[in-house]
Structure 1
Amino acid sequence: MTLPDWVPVREDLRAFEPYGAPQLDVPVLLNVNENPYGPSKATADDLAESVREIASDLNRYPDREAWALRTDLAAYLGVADPAGVWAANGSNELMQQILQAFGGPGRTAVSFTPTYSMYPEYARNTHTRWVTGRRAEDFTFDLDEALRLIAAEQPDVVLLASPNNPTGESLTLESVRAVCEAAPGLVVLDEAYAEFRRASTPSALEVLAEYPRLVVTRTMSKAFAFAGGRVGYLAADPAIVDALRIVRLPYHLSAVTQAVARAALRHVEESLARVDELRATRDETAGWLRAQGLDVVDSDANFVLFGTFDDRHAVWQGLLDRGVLIRETGPQGWLRVSIGTPEETAAFRDALVEVLA
C-alpha cells in the first residue's frame, strides 16, 4: 500500500503498512493463534439468547462502565474489587489506552525483543518514545539486561508479554518483582495466553496486590474461543483503571459485546477443558518437531516457535502450497505454528515432512 502524495496523513505514518497477518482461504489456518474449537452448541445458544434479550433495547446506549461484565471478569480472575478490572475491544485497545494515559509525547516505553510486533505500533500511534532491549540468545528474559535498560531509560511504561509472543516462554515471579521494584512508572504484564501456561508457571496476578503500578492484561480471544467477540480485560489498582477511563472513548463496548462476553464467561469450565486438550497437543507438537531435528522453544502458549531455516519463507510458502498457513514472524530463521485440532495438526505434520524432504 502506498498513499498518494495528496493524502495529508501524518508524515511519520506515510511509510507504514497496516498491521495484519495474512487472511487466506486455505484448509488449515494455524497462523494467528486462534482457538481451533468454536463454541459448543450450548454456548452458542446462550450467546444468541443473550443478544435476543437485549435486542429491543439497542436504541439505548450501553453501560459505558461495563459494570456487570467487569464484575464477572473480576470473579473469574479472583479479584475482589471489580473497580480494579477494566475491559475493552480486545487487548489491543487496552494497550492503546494504556499508552494514551501513561505514554505520549515526552514519555518512554520499553520492551525486549523478540516480542509482540504490535507494541511499537501502539507507541508510534500515541507519540510515545519506543526503546527496545534484547532477550537472551535462547529468547529467555534477560533480567540483568532489563534492569540495566530500565535504570538507563527510566521508562514511563514497561511492556512485557508472559507468555511471550512469538516465543512462548513465561516470566518468573522473581523477574516480575525485580522489574516492578526497578521501574519508576507502569509495568504491564501482557498475559494473553495465560490459560495455556504449564501447571508450574505462575501468573503476575499472584503479586498484583504488592505493586500498585503493576497491570496484568488478558484476553477472551484465545482460551475462550472468542476472537471474533473482541474483548480484552485487565486487572490493576482501581486508580490505574480510573486513569484509563479518562482516555476511553464513550460507550467503547457495545451492549452486544458486553452481553455475549458475559454469556461466554458462563461456560468457562467447558472452555478451559478445551485448553487442556490444546496444551497437550502443543507439547506433543513440540516433541514431534524436535524429533524432526528442528530447534523448538518451550512454550506456555497455544503456539510453538520452531526453526531454524536458511530460507524460512520458502518453508512457509511450501506449507501454504499444501494448504497449511502458519506465521512467518519473529527472529529470522524461525516460524510459528498455532496449535490446531488433531486433524489440522496431522495436516501440518504431513505438509512439513514433504517440505523438508
Structure 2
Amino acid sequence: MSAIPQNLPLRNDLIGEEPYGAPQLDVPVCLNVNENPYQPDPAVCEAIARRVRDIAPTLNRYPDREHIELRQAFSDYLARESNTRLDVDELWGANGSNEIMLQLFQAFGGPGRTALGADPTYSMYPEYARDTFTGWQLAHRKADFTLDIEALIEQIHAVGPSMVLLTSPNNPTGTPLPMDEIERVLEVCETAEVAGANAGVHPIVVIDEAYVEFRKSGTESAVSLIKAHPNLAVSRTMSKAFAFAGARVGYLAASKGIIDCVRIVRMPYHLSAVTQAAALAAFEHTDEQLSRVEHLRETREATAAWLETQTYKGEPLDVAESGSNFLLFGGHFDKRDEIFDELLKRGVLIRVVGPAGWLRVCMGTDEEMARFREALTQVLRIVEAA
C-alpha cells in the first residue's frame, strides 16, 4: 500500500491501517481464499449470458431495489438445501456476505454498542466494528477451537452486546458449531440486556454460514431455527460452495423485523441488475453449481488424513476438525512464515492466518492438491533442517 499523504483528513482511528485482503498473486496453485476451484459449467455460463443480454436494454433504469425475484430464489434454494421454507420478507441479498455483515453492524452496532465474537474468528469482524464505531469484544474458544459456551454466556451478561456473532463452520479453523449450542445462545440472548439500550431490548444472534454447504451430511443449518427465534440472523453466500465468488452475492435469512432493520441502512439500488440476473441464472442451474461440493468434502477428509501422517520436528501435525472447504493445520509451526514463503517459491499459495503455529489451506482440484502435498513434503524437511 502506498503511503497516504499526511495532508488528507483521514479519520484519526484509521491512520496507519492497511486494507484487508489475502495476497493476490499470480501463481499456479492458489489455495488461500477458500474459493470453489472448479469453473462454472458451460450451461451456467450460457444462462448468465442470456439473462444479462435480456436485461441489457433496461440498464438505463435502476434495478429492483427490493430484488424480489432474487429473494424468492433464495427462498426456493433454502427450502431445498436446508429443508426450511422462508418468506420473501425473511430474506435479503447484498454484494457478498461482507456487505450483509456490514449492514448488520450498521443497523445494530454504532457508538455505544458492542458486538461479541468468539476467537479465533474471521478477521474482518473487528473491521466491520471499527468502520461502524462499534465496540468489539471476544470470548475465547477452547484449545480445540470449539465454542466455550459458558465463557460466551458469561461475556454476554458482562458486556451487554447488541450482537453476538458466531461462525458455523468457523473461519479460520473450520470448526462446526452444534445446533444445541446455537439454541442455548439464542435462549440466553432472548432475555439478556443490551448495554445502553431501552428496557426490553435484547441482543440479536448472527450465525455466519459462509461455508455451510460443506458441512458433513445430516448436519442442520441454523436457518431451520429462524421461525422459532426472531432474534436470529443467518448470513449466507454464493461465493464458496456455489462457485460464484466473482459475482459477489450474499444473502441474509432472518425474521421480517431484522430484515426491515437492515433495509433502513442499505444503499439505494445496492444490487445491480447485472448482479441479480447472474444470480438468478446460477440458481437455474443449482445442481451444476453444487456438483463438486461432495468431491471437495472428500478431498478435505483425505487431505486431513494425509496431513496427520506428516511430521514437523518429530511431532505429527495437528489438524483442526473442519466442516468447511479448508483445513487449519500445523499447531506447532515455529517458522510458519518460512513455510509459507517456501511453498510460494514452489508455486503454491496458502494462508498465514489464525493462531500462531498454524497455517490454512483450502481445497483445490485433484491436481492442485497433489502439487500442495508434494511441495509441503519438501518444505517441511527444508525448514526443519534450517
Aligned to 1:36: 37
1 CA distance for matches of 2:143 and 2:5? Answer: 41
CA contact (8 A) 2:105 2:128 kept: yes
2 CA distance for matches of 1:198 and 1:239? Answer: 31
Q: Which amino acid aligns with 1:234?
A: L
Give the stretch that moved more between structures: 177-186 or 106-115.
Answer: 177-186
Say which of 338, 352, 363 aligns to 1:314: 338
The Cα shift of 1:266 comes to 1.1
Q: Which amino acid aligns with 1:328?
A: V
2 CA distance for matches of 1:173 and 1:261? Answer: 29
Query: Structure 1 residue 304 and structure 2 residue 307: aligned?
Result: no
2 CA distance for matches of 1:217 and 1:64? Answer: 19
Taking every aligned residue pair, what percent have the same amino acid on both sides?
A: 57
Secondary structure of the structure 2 residue equivalent to 1:291: coil
Secondary structure of the structure 1 residue equivalent to 2:34: coil
CA offsets 1:8-59 (integer angstroms, 9 cap, x no match)? 0100011210001000000000000000001011111111111111111111
Say which of 329, 338, 351 aligns to 2:362: 338
The Cα shift of 1:137 comes to 0.9
2 CA distance for matches of 1:322 and 1:334? Answer: 20
Aligned to 1:235: 253
CA offsets 1:204-245 (integer angstroms, 9 cap, x no match)? 112111110100110000011100000000110011111111
Say which of 125, 142, 151 aligns to 2:157: 151
Q: Which amino acid aligns with 1:74?
A: S
CA contact (8 A) 1:155 1:185 kept: yes
Give the stretch that moved more between structures: 197-206 or 237-246.
Answer: 197-206
2 CA distance for matches of 1:39 and 1:160? Answer: 30
The Cα shift of 1:4 comes to 2.6
2 CA distance for matches of 1:256 and 1:217? Answer: 22
Aligned to 2:132: 126
Aligned to 2:6: 5
The Cα shift of 1:312 comes to 0.4
CA contact (8 A) 1:31 1:325 kept: yes
Aligned to 2:192: none
Aligned to 2:274: 256
Cα-Cα RMSD? 0.8
The Cα shift of 1:182 comes to 1.3
Give the stretch that moved more between structures: 62-71 or 76-85.
Answer: 76-85
Aligned to 1:68: 69
> How do residues 252-291 of structure 1 correspond to structure 2 at under 5 angstroms?
252-291=270-309
Say which of 115, 119, 124 aligns to 2:121: 115
The Cα shift of 1:200 comes to 3.4
The Cα shift of 1:185 comes to 0.9
Secondary structure of the structure 2 residue equivalent to 1:210: coil
1 CA distance for matches of 2:60 and 2:244? Answer: 25
Segments of 5+ residues of structure 2 without an aligned counterpart are: 80-84, 190-201, 311-315, 382-386
Aligned to 1:140: 146
CA contact (8 A) 1:107 1:129 kept: yes
Q: Which amino acid aligns with 1:130?
A: W
2 CA distance for matches of 1:72 and 1:206? Answer: 17
CA contact (8 A) 2:34 2:363 kept: yes
Say which of 242, 246, 257 aligns to 1:224: 242
2 CA distance for matches of 1:286 and 1:270? Answer: 26
Aligned to 1:180: 186
Runs of 4+ in 1 over 3 A off after TM superposition: none
Say which of 90, 94, 97 aligns to 1:88: 94
Aligned to 1:25: 26
Q: Which amino acid aligns with 1:228?
A: G
1 CA distance for matches of 2:86 and 2:342? Answer: 50
2 CA distance for matches of 1:313 and 1:112? Answer: 25
Secondary structure of the structure 2 residue equivalent to 1:152: helix
Aligned to 1:195: 213
The Cα shift of 1:269 comes to 1.3
Aligned to 2:82: none
Secondary structure of the structure 2 residue equivalent to 1:131: strand
Q: Structure 1 length normalisation: TM-score?
A: 0.99
Q: Which amino acid aligns with 1:341?
A: T
CA contact (8 A) 2:22 2:33 kept: yes
Q: Which amino acid aligns with 1:233?
A: Y
1 CA distance for matches of 2:152 and 2:372? Answer: 36
1 CA distance for matches of 2:290 and 2:99? Answer: 24
CA contact (8 A) 2:243 2:290 kept: no
CA contact (8 A) 1:327 1:337 kept: yes
Q: Which amino acid aligns with 1:241?
A: I
Q: Structure 2 length normalisation: TM-score?
A: 0.91
The Cα shift of 1:272 comes to 2.1
CA contact (8 A) 1:170 1:201 kept: no
Aligned to 1:349: 373
Secondary structure of the structure 1 residue equivalent to 2:292: helix
The Cα shift of 1:350 comes to 0.3
Q: Which amino acid aligns with 2:337?
A: H
1 CA distance for matches of 2:166 and 2:130? Answer: 17
